[in-house]
Structure 1
Amino acid sequence: MTLGLEVEYWVVDETGRLCDGRDLVDVHEHVMPEFVGPLLEIKTSPHEDVTALKRELQETLRTVLDAAEATGRYLVPLGTPLTEHDSPATSSRGELYEQIYGEFVASPKNCAGTHIHFEKTNVKRQLDLLTALDPTVALVSSSPYYCGSRTVHCARAQAYRRACGERFRPFCDLWSYPDSVDAWTETVHENFEEFVRIAADRGVDEATVRASFCPEDTVLAPVRLRHELPTVEWRAPDAALPSQLLQLAEDVDRLMTLTDSTPVVTGDPGVSDDEIRIPPFEELQSLSDEAIRWGLDSTRVCEYLKTMGFDTAQYDPLSAQLSGPGTLQPDEARQLRLDCAARLRADVEALDGGNFLRPVQPRIQYSAP
């Protein structure tokens, strides 16, 4: 099956402050503006293997990094910008999101993620499997900080899913395994009607909402169906170093390919020639909560991932490497962003090797001047 990648990266200036990067979309056709000015999306074409995906991602990132550095700017591979920022939305639809989400718009403005698109084949099995792989967020978590506070191992997932307010949580949190593809689609449309009602409460009329959004646009959950592409889109991982994301894409693609011929059933987790067994959803929720909170420090999460075929030793998430105080000051955040920007450049250049993963780098620590 074919797969494609989209990764969001923050743009900072030479002091580490977030800055506008929208002009960088002109340097490559696979660079897109995002919800706010300091955030860019780097994407790939669909490819049949991860090696081709790697080549294109490296070429695009080199082009963007060169253009950014020529103007004193850098790209940062973090799931959050560490400290809070409140740049205004940069599109008319973004402005509508601001109005509809109100005070809860802070979480999407302070989160950067990765989206992996898989070609639709056996969609019900694909939805079930990607849902069950939600604890893999522990493998590529890239920031333990949200709005200046050290919170959990995967601060982006925690904020994106839980800091959006109870009314928006059905749009952003992990959905349960569907009874069928039709049932999934029905839920999407039911949620869209609720989105229309919320918008009306916020002063946005129904005609404007229906003209600006289609039902799938309002699904911000870790898994969603894209009818126009058409793909199953996995939105669980953080923005992270390319080598780590490519390793994850390869590992997940291997399992997704099995769904063409192998049933996905609920039971004791494991992968065999006859079936892929995933845990009951309540158990999965508990595993995901531990993965978000503790990352690979959770023995239970590591055991689950190994059972599903992941070699956790091949991952070294950035989140575990960001050593700093419980409350991060702006100057500390700026230095950490620059440190991570340097890691991104080194990681991109190292992709020339045969393996995705590079030797583990020294732990990043902030040192006060």
Structure 2
Amino acid sequence: MQLGVEMEFWVVDEMGDLCAGHDLTEAHENAVPEFVESLVEITTPPRGSTAGIAESLTDVLDTLLRGARETNRRLVPLGTPLTANGSPVTSSRGDMLERIYGEGFEVAKNCAGTHVHFEQGNVARQLNLLTALDPALALVSSSPFYEGERLATSSRAYAYRYKAGHNFGKFRDLWEYTDDPDEWERRLQWLYEELRSMALNRGVSTEEYTDYFDPENVVMTPIRLRSETPTVEWRSPDTSLPSQVVTLLEDLAPLMAQTDDLPVEVGDPGVTNDAIGVPAYAELQQLSSAAIERGLTSPFVWKYLERYGIDTTRYHPLSGQFYAGDTIPEERARRVRLEAARLLERDVDALHTTVTARR
């Protein structure tokens, strides 16, 4: 199975303040600007193994970190910038989203995630298994703070799903299981038309809307179907340390590969010789809420993940390693960002050593 990863990182100056970073991406073809100036994204080409993903992540991050050091900047692997992000929107699509979403768009400006692409196989099974694995976001949660307040172990996921506004929930929520990928596509088409109506009511012309949106990119749900590659894209996790993302793939890729041979059925969670069991959707919603709010401190969550053969003791999410108050002032947030940046630099060095030893 071919795999791919996208990771977003905040850019800060030597004091820990968010700053412009899009110029850093000019040094590597697998780095691209994001829609706000303090956020950059790195991508990997399709690779056939987690070792290949580790190699690609190391390659692009080595380049970006070197460029950042030369200009007294750092990259920060946190799901949110901890306090409010005042960086301006710098893309035409971002401007369009801001016009449509209004204040609800502030959520997106304060979130950085990891997106994992799995080569499409039996798409219905893949969609349903990734839906059931939504609580695995707890393994790499990296920021409990959103706009200065402690929200949840994954404040990024909490904000995305619960703070964007009622009208936009359907564009961001976890969807129910499906037996029919065509039904999934029909729902996308329906949402595409609904968002177009909302856009028209906010003064966006039909021509502008169709220039920037299609049914594939109209939603920011935790799972998306991508036709160009084609892949199933899993968007539940925070951005985090690259070694943690590689470990996550080591656990998830073998599970996803089994969907070629085993049906995915509602029942007892876990893998047997006959099927991959997933919980009823109502139970899954409770698990996802616990994963977002409490992470691996919830026995409900870690026991569930271990039923899929995931050794949760291998994970040490960043979200539990920093400041422990209910609020975080800007001065403290700057120090935490710099601390997270140092962890990223050490992590990339260690990953580089591992990659080199494998060659």
In 2, the alpha carbon distance for the partners of 1:169 and 1:353 equals 43
2:206 aligned with 1:245, yes or no? no
Instruction: Provide the secondary structure at the position in 1 that maps to 2:228.
Output: coil
> What does 1:71-86 align with in structure 2 at a 5 Å threshold?
71-86=71-86
- The answer for the alignment partner of 1:329 in structure 2 is 329
In 1, the alpha carbon distance for the partners of 2:193 and 2:180 equals 20
> What does 1:205-284 align with in structure 2 at a 5 Å threshold?
205-284=205-284
Partner amino acid, structure 2, of 1:263: P
TM-score norm. by structure 1 comes to 0.95
- The answer for the alignment partner of 2:42 in structure 1 is 42
> What does 1:112-131 align with in structure 2 at a 5 Å threshold?
112-131=112-131
Instruction: Provide the secondary structure at the position in 1 that maps to 2:245.
Output: helix
User: Structure 1, unaligned stretches of length 5 or more?
Assistant: 356-369
Give how far 1:344 is off: 0.1
In 2, the alpha carbon distance for the partners of 1:352 and 1:45 equals 18
Give how far 1:21 is off: 0.3
- The answer for the alignment partner of 2:63 in structure 1 is 63
Q: Conserved in 1, the CA contact under 8 Å of 2:140 and 2:316? A: yes
In 1, the alpha carbon distance for the partners of 2:207 and 2:56 equals 40
Partner amino acid, structure 1, of 2:195: F
In 2, the alpha carbon distance for the partners of 1:97 and 1:29 equals 26
Q: Conserved in 2, the CA contact under 8 Å of 1:144 and 1:322? A: no
Give how far 1:217 is off: 1.1
Q: Conserved in 2, the CA contact under 8 Å of 1:32 and 1:42? A: yes
Instruction: Provide the secondary structure at the position in 2 that maps to 1:4.
Output: strand
Give how far 1:207 is off: 2.5
- The answer for the alignment partner of 1:204 in structure 2 is 204
In 2, the alpha carbon distance for the partners of 1:163 and 1:135 equals 19
In 2, the alpha carbon distance for the partners of 1:163 and 1:26 equals 34
Partner amino acid, structure 2, of 1:124: A
- The answer for the alignment partner of 1:191 in structure 2 is 191
TM-score norm. by structure 2 comes to 0.97
Q: Conserved in 2, the CA contact under 8 Å of 1:104 and 1:163? A: yes
Partner amino acid, structure 2, of 1:283: E
Partner amino acid, structure 1, of 2:134: D
Q: Conserved in 2, the CA contact under 8 Å of 1:244 and 1:315? A: yes
- The answer for the alignment partner of 1:364 in structure 2 is none
Q: Conserved in 1, the CA contact under 8 Å of 2:12 and 2:73? A: yes
- The answer for the alignment partner of 1:22 in structure 2 is 22
> What does 1:143-182 align with in structure 2 at a 5 Å threshold?
143-182=143-182
Q: CA offsets per residue over residues 130-186 of structure 1, 9 Å max, x none? A: 000000011000000000001111100000111111111111111111231010000
Instruction: Provide the secondary structure at the position in 1 that maps to 2:294.
Output: helix
- The answer for the alignment partner of 1:106 in structure 2 is 106
Give how far 1:86 is off: 2.6
Q: Conserved in 1, the CA contact under 8 Å of 2:10 and 2:39? A: yes
Instruction: Provide the secondary structure at the position in 2 that maps to 1:233.
Output: strand
Partner amino acid, structure 2, of 1:211: D
User: Structure 2, unaligned stretches of length 5 or more?
Assistant: none
**How many pairs does the alignment contain?**
355
Give how far 1:63 is off: 0.8
Greater mean deviation of Cα atoms: 83-92 or 22-31:
83-92
Q: Conserved in 1, the CA contact under 8 Å of 2:84 and 2:147? A: yes
Q: Conserved in 2, the CA contact under 8 Å of 1:225 and 1:232? A: yes
Give how far 1:201 is off: 2.0
Give how far 1:353 is off: 4.8
Give how far 1:323 is off: 2.2
- Taking every aligned residue pair, what percent have the same amino acid on both sides? 50
Partner amino acid, structure 1, of 2:136: T
In 2, the alpha carbon distance for the partners of 1:308 and 1:197 equals 42
> What does 1:297-308 align with in structure 2 at a 5 Å threshold?
297-308=297-308
In 1, the alpha carbon distance for the partners of 2:27 and 2:354 equals 27
In 1, the alpha carbon distance for the partners of 2:148 and 2:245 equals 25
- The answer for the alignment partner of 1:288 in structure 2 is 288
Q: Conserved in 2, the CA contact under 8 Å of 1:121 and 1:260? A: yes
Give how far 1:205 is off: 2.0
- The answer for the alignment partner of 2:95 in structure 1 is 95
Partner amino acid, structure 2, of 1:291: A
2:154 aligned with 1:138, yes or no? no
Q: Conserved in 2, the CA contact under 8 Å of 1:78 and 1:142? A: yes
* RMSD of equivalent CA atoms: 1.0
Q: Conserved in 1, the CA contact under 8 Å of 2:323 and 2:336? A: no
Q: CA offsets per residue over residues 30-88 of structure 1, 9 Å max, x none? A: 00010100000011110000001101111110110000110000000000000001322
In 2, the alpha carbon distance for the partners of 1:87 and 1:13 equals 13
In 2, the alpha carbon distance for the partners of 1:330 and 1:85 equals 11
Instruction: Provide the secondary structure at the position in 2 that maps to 1:6.
Output: strand
Q: Conserved in 1, the CA contact under 8 Å of 2:125 and 2:264? A: yes
